[in-house]
Structure 1
Amino acid sequence: MDDINKQVLTEKTIRLLQNNQYTFDVELESTKTEIKNWVEKFFNVKVKAMNSLRSTKKKRNRRIRIKKSVVDYKRMIITLQPGYSIPLFLNE
């Protein structure tokens, strides 16, 4: 459970729920295999596919005008086999 930070609930991710896709923010060091194994064991579901993305923040130094990209978080979109579901978390 330490690798998954929170379940993401936005307008887009709520639309993805119709396709049996769930979105989680995870630790930057986590791999797809680790998250897949954990989700299958903890929620007792079968994972069909997984997509990941790393969001970046851009920082700019005004004097030199150099832009740097800093990785902010890693997000996983997990697609489940038909007939399986994950309960929604309440984010606080």
Structure 2
Amino acid sequence: MHKDELIQLHTLMAQIKRYFESQGIEHDFEEYQSLSISPMHIHRSKAEHKHAIFVLGNHLASIISEDENSSIAQTTSRMQELAAKSGNEIAHSN
């Protein structure tokens, strides 16, 4: 994916996060917030946006899996793996 596409995806996921929050769905987004990156931070690297997408995706999948006992719970595990992998890539590139 190109950086602009990742930023668009990050924007969509941030909107989903805000929607859940507006619906009164409580979730601790501390890990995502600790990254201090939003879709508006276009100067941040492609790798940082990718990592933020995986971390935020993990949070969103976790919220969804709380309501459903389906294969969605597996999505949470996969997002955690991808977030860890992309985080390692960022650490090694610095």
More helix by percentage? 2
Same fold (TM over 0.5): no
| Greater relative CO, 1 or 2 (CA 8 Å, sep 6+) | 1
TM-score under structure 2 length normalisation: 0.25
Structure with bigger gyration radius: 1
